[in-house]
């Protein structure tokens, strides 16, 4: 009795992974193909990172308010 339930759980998990993977490819498939071809990415789906992320990417330390420094 455990084997059919285990098989059912396995197949349900496999189906869920396929559905999630298809959704991800549908959303970002064009960007992946463009990246593999070496072309620039075009389209409204590309968003710029926030100011904090850009500052972190440049290697500049973020400025902390005095109250946050005191709390640390």
What is the per-residue pLDDT across 50-65, written as a single tens digit (0 to 9) for each?
555 555 556 656 666 6
Task: Return all residues near 30 (Cβ < 8 A) that are at least 6 apart.
Answer: 43
Percent of the chain with pLDDT over 90: 31
Which pLDDT belongs to residue 22?
93
What is the per-residue pLDDT across 15-24, written as a single tens digit (0 to 9) for each?
999 999 999 8
Q: How many CB atoms lie within 10 A of CB 28?
A: 13
Mean pLDDT of 1-24: 94
């Amino acid at each position: 009795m455990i084997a059919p339930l285990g098989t059912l759980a396995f197949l349900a998990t496999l189906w869920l992974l396929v559905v999630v993977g298809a959704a991800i490819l549908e959303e970002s498939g064009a960007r992946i193909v463009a990246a593999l071809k070496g072309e620039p990415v075009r389209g409204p789906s590309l968003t710029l990172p926030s100011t904090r992320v850009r500052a972190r990417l440049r290697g500049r330390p973020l400025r902390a308010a005095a109250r946050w420094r005191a709390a640390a």
